Amino acid sequence: MDRRDFLKKAIGSGIAAGSTLAFTDFSEVGKLWAASKESKSAWDLVAVKGGEPDLMFDSAIASLGGMQNFVPKGSRVLVKPNIGWDVPPERAGNTHPKLVGRIVEHCITAGAKEVSVFDHTCDNWRQCYKNSGIEKAVKEAGGKIISGDSEGYYQKISVPMGKRLTETMVHEALLEADVFINVPVLKQHSSSMVTIGMKNLMGVVWDRRYWHRNDLHQCIADFASFRKPDLTVVDAYNVMKRNGPRGVSVNDVVAMKAQVVSTDFLAADSAAAKLFGLEPADIRHIKIASEMKLGQMNLKELSINRIKL
């Protein structure tokens, strides 16, 4: 039985797993089963620690009832990782390829018609896609890699709630997607303090320079109001603690082996900020988004499932 067939059978039984089980202790399978029987709204946020990126996601999505709760059969899905930099996975400048590939696989197993992956990169896009390991992982999982490197792919939209960002050019892949899954990597950023979910959305627009010239934090929060992701999956497996967003070497990176998953992007960003060692309210775009009532910043108000692998 190949991995995709295994996933189909596992999801049919209410358990999400990979080609091998996430746990060496098989008694833990019962916990996955129990978690998967929770309703879609049982948890506001899932925090996982201690596993590989793909296996942590298996556990997280199982506790949310499986990817079929988010991806209707026949739907078009956009998965948006951070692929901005021409660096290998160990540098943690981009989302981990194991996580991106596994998310694509779950989407296809749930019955997605098409799963597209792209980013408007900062370095050469072909090199970023290749050397990040994401292009290979997506293709092996059955997904479609598309370019974000031409202005012709972008269409002008209005941002009704925007204060500084009232209109912008957005990639057609987002505008055409039925399901939107945002998959940022958690890391330090010289301009915005951190990169998490909201900051990762800069990779779906054409003119990012405007944001930097016109109150970056307000623009980040403004655009977050345009279309909320159906699911935010924060990769905190390896975390760049300094010299972000590109980093200088592996010495900038700390192994956290963590992941945060939520339907509330603001909750996901707030929990990831805490992982990083910051208070959510100290990150201005998180605070602004909370004031705009785009989600929940106060983690004490959330139902959180904490999973240790």
pLDDT over 50 at 151, yes or no: yes
Domains and CATH numbers, the chain: 3-308 (3.40.50)
pLDDT score, position 42: 80
Lowest mean pLDDT among 15-19, 116-120, 139-143, 200-204: 15-19
Q: Please compute the mean of the pLDDT values over residues 287-301 and round it to a whole number.
A: 97
Closest by CA position to 279, among listed 264, 297, 294: 297
List, as one string, the DSSP characters of 201-257: GGGGBS--HHHHHS-HHHHHHHHHTT---SEEEEEEEEEE-SSTTT-SSGGGEEEEE
Closest by CA position to 189, among listed 236, 258, 119, 240: 240
**H or E segment to which residue 56 belongs:** helix 53-63
Give the C-alpha distances (Å, rounded to integers) separating 288 from 161, 168, 182, 297. Answer: 12, 19, 20, 10
200/243 Cα distance (integer angstroms): 17
**To the nearest whole percent, how much of the chain has pLDDT over 70?**
87
pLDDT tens-place string over residues 222-244: 999 999 999 999 999 999 999 99
